[in-house]
Amino acid sequence: MRLPLFAAFFLIFLLILPLSVGLSGCEKSGNKTRSLLYSYDFEDGNLGPEWKNEGGQWEIRNGRMTSKSARNKDLVLTKPLPAEAEIELEMISHSPQVDVKFRAWGDSSADLHDGAYHFILGGWNNRISTIAPLGEHDKRRVEKRQALEKDRWYKVRVVRRDGFVTLFLDGKEFMRYADKDPLDPKVYKYFSFANWLTDCEFDNLKIYEYK
């Protein structure tokens, strides 16, 4: 049985539509659309002009961003983050104390050690992981006391949306911070890799926005 010409075109449209949405880099999430803003896998070995080193030891090796002695002088992505966004990355520590971390929605000061949301895995000698606003020791921080593994790549995803900042580890929710006093997105809007004195690596950074 032959389909009427209009019905045939409509069927083709329905088949092509999901593919075209996937190719655009956009997808629906609830009542909002998630779209890719920035992606970098460090394979070219050269940081672009959108990155700013605040004075720490940061180096691309073997297609990964590495650090051994940044002393809380971050590597900052100067492209602003949207107020509601999602960040994906992979990170590993080769040090017994683990202590691998990054910051997001930070201000533009030369020292991001205080002005940002802090995401720390296996901090304080692998005793505490935390999401903390405006300082690692802020009394509002949420904690998870669970030792993490040295020499293991972790897939990390952070979602800031609808009044919460949520950290997922290897696809599972790990911590959630109720953002009752959110940092002003007009001032606090930058992502940065962070480190103190651990041997760590980062890879496959992706940033999405919600609209």
Q: Are strands 75-77 and 85-93 parallel, antiparallel or unpaired?
A: unpaired
Question: Can you tell me the distance from the alpha carbon of 101 to that of 109, in angstroms, rounded to the nearest whole number?
Answer: 18
Question: Can you tell me the distance from the alpha carbon of 180 to that of 110, in angstroms, rounded to the nearest whole number?
Answer: 26
Tell the residue number behind the tokens 């692998």, with chain if given: 126
More confident residue, 21 or 77: 77
Residue 113: pLDDT band with limits 50, 70, 90: low
More confident residue, 91 or 17: 91
- Please give the single-letter amino acid code of residue 37: L
Question: Can you tell me the distance from the alpha carbon of 53 to that of 150, in angstroms, rounded to the nearest whole number?
Answer: 26
Q: Across the chain, what does the average pLDDT equal?
A: 88
Look at residue 182 in the predicted model and tell me its pLDDT.
95
pLDDT of 208 > 70? The answer is: yes
Look at residue 39 in the predicted model and tell me its pLDDT.
98
Question: Can you tell me the distance from the alpha carbon of 123 to that of 161, in angstroms, rounded to the nearest whole number?
Answer: 25
pLDDT digits (tens, 9 = 90+) for 144-188: 999 999 999 999 999 999 999 999 999 999 999 999 999 999 999
pLDDT of 34 > 80? The answer is: yes
- Nearest CA to 65 among 44, 82, 34, 96? 44
- Nearest CA to 67 among 186, 192, 173, 191? 192
Chain mean position to CA 151: 20
Report yes or no: 91 and 121 within 8 Å, Cβ to Cβ: yes
pLDDT digits (tens, 9 = 90+) for 115-127: 899 999 999 999 9
pLDDT digits (tens, 9 = 90+) for 58-106: 999 999 999 999 999 999 999 999 999 999 999 999 999 999 999 999 9
Residue 20: pLDDT band with limits 50, 70, 90: very low
CA distances from 175 to 119, 130, 161 (A): 10, 8, 14
Question: Can you tell me the distance from the alpha carbon of 164 to that of 178, in angstroms, rounded to the nearest whole number?
Answer: 5
Look at residue 211 in the predicted model and tell me its pLDDT.
87
